[in-house]
Structures are given as C-alpha cells and as structure tokens.
Amino acid sequence: MNESLHPGPAFPRNWVFIRGVPAMKFLPPEGPPEIAFAGRSNVGKSSLINALVDRKGLARTSNTPGRTQELNYFVPDGYAGTAADLPPLALVDMPGYGFAKAPKPVVENWTRLVFDYLRGRVTLKRVYLLIDARHGVKTVDDEVMDLLDKAAVSYQIVLTKADKIKPPAVDRLVGETGARILKRPAAFPEVLATSAEKGMGLDALRAAIMRAASSA
C-alpha cells in the first residue's frame, strides 16, 4: 500500500523537550509511538526537527559534529505522559554517527546506545535516515542501513539541505537514492527532499511521520 495516498492525522504543534537519554536504562517507559531521526554528524537533524515543529532552539544545533550525544526526546506540550494521557507520538533526535570531535570512548558509548535503541525499542515506528543532499549516500550510511535491515526497523531516506543544490540535481539524487534502496527489505521506497532553512518538503515529511506513527 502506498502511504502517500492517505492524508493521515494532523501533525501536532507546541513541542517540548522531555528527556535526554545517555544510556538504555534511562529510556522513558514505552508508550506513544516513537519516530527517530538518524544521520551522519552535522547532517542537520536538529535543524530539521526545529523546522518540523516550527520552534527555533528546541533541538540544539551546532556546527561542531557530534554535539548531540544522547537520545533526545520531544513530545507535544500539554500531555502528562501517563497511560491515561499519552501524546500522539514522540520524536527522538539520535546522536550523529561517523565523524565526531569527541573522545573515542564517548563516541563508542553513544554509538552503542543508538544501536541498542534501534534493536530493542518496540514502540519505534520508523527511523528517518537523513542524508546531506550535497554529498549523497556514503559508506557509513550504507552500514547503518545494513543494521536497520538486519534489525527489521522500518526507515525512510530524507535528503537534507536540498536547497543547496539545483532542482534538477535534487530530482536526480532522489531517483538515484530510490533505486539504490529498492532491494533493502526495511527501507520505505519513497525518498523525501527537504530544506530546514527554506521549508522545502516539510509538509510532506510531517504527513509521512503521522502516517508512520499511526500504522499498526
């Protein structure tokens, strides 16, 4: 079934940060569906999350790769977080993988946290794997897709910073990336192109998130 044929529920507004998770034991209780964002360090995860929820500074941004070192949880404001009053979903900003200006033990610790989370979180509905449109899919991205396929975690490719290249190049990259993931069992086939700075593709991504969150 093609999810794009179904509009799905509206994307919530007024999000708040609720918790940073440095280790698995600090994860919140499994409750609402979770949507996670993964990508190489400095791919623009935090900027994209801020643009999606239309709130500057919610997710911390930095020009220094590896700034996000925890799983950062965000939920719509106004929910108590109890079993009787669960938010419709939670967004999770994951630590960047690949190059990071941090001590090797720190990098190893938060990389292990990310992979443990991906393998073991029942309420995780989809991972949005962010790829910088200026650079395309790198070897380390393929390695993460291998892991997601092995763990049977649904994921969808989102091109970031698509305003930095010309429209014909965006269309070509979308097509090439879609062809590249065709045989990957856990990959959702539609590739989205976005720009946090220009607002490009954000409504399509919001709709995709809500459809994924409401899926069985």
Q: What is the pLDDT of residue 5?
A: 37
- Looking at residue 86, its pLDDT comes to 61
Q: How far apart are CA 40 and CA 140, in angstroms?
A: 8
Handedness of CA 70, 74, 79, 83 (dihedral sign): negative
Q: Which two tokens stand for residue 182?
A: 């065709």
Q: 42-67: string of b/e by CB count within 10 Å (b at 16+)?
A: bbbbbbbbbbbbebeebbebeeebbb
pLDDT computed for residue 85 by the predictor: 59
Percent of the chain that is helix, strand, coil (3-state, to 5): 35, 20, 45
- Mapped onto helix, strand or coil, the DSSP state of residue 175 is helix
Residue whose structure tokens are 């069985």:
216
Burial class (CB in 10 A: 0-12, 13-18, 19+), 87: buried
Instruction: Please spell the DSSP secondary structure of 71-123, one letter per residue.
Output: EEEEEETT---BTTB--S-EEEEPPPBS--SS-HHHHHHHHHHHHHHHHH-TT
pLDDT of residue 47: 92
The closest of 88, 25, 29, 39 to 68, measured between CA atoms, is 39
Please tell me the total count of domains within the chain.
1
Give every CB contact of residue 112 below 8 A, 6+ residues apart in sequence. none
Return the H-helix or E-strand segment holding 207.
Answer: helix 202-213
Could you identify the residue written with the tokens 């459809």?
211
Return the closest-CA partner of residue 52 out of 161, 163, 206, 197.
206
CATH classification at residue 171: 3.40.50.300
Q: Which residues of the chain have pLDDT under 70?
A: 1-9, 61-68, 79-86, 99-102, 216
Cα distance between residue 127 and residue 121, in whole Å: 11
Beginning with the edge strand found earlier in the chain, give each strand of the sheet holding 155-160 in spatial order: 15-21, 71-76, 90-93, 34-39, 124-132, 155-160, 192-193
Enclosing domain of residue 168: 3-213
pTM of the model: 0.87
Task: Tell me what pLDDT residue 8 has.
Answer: 45
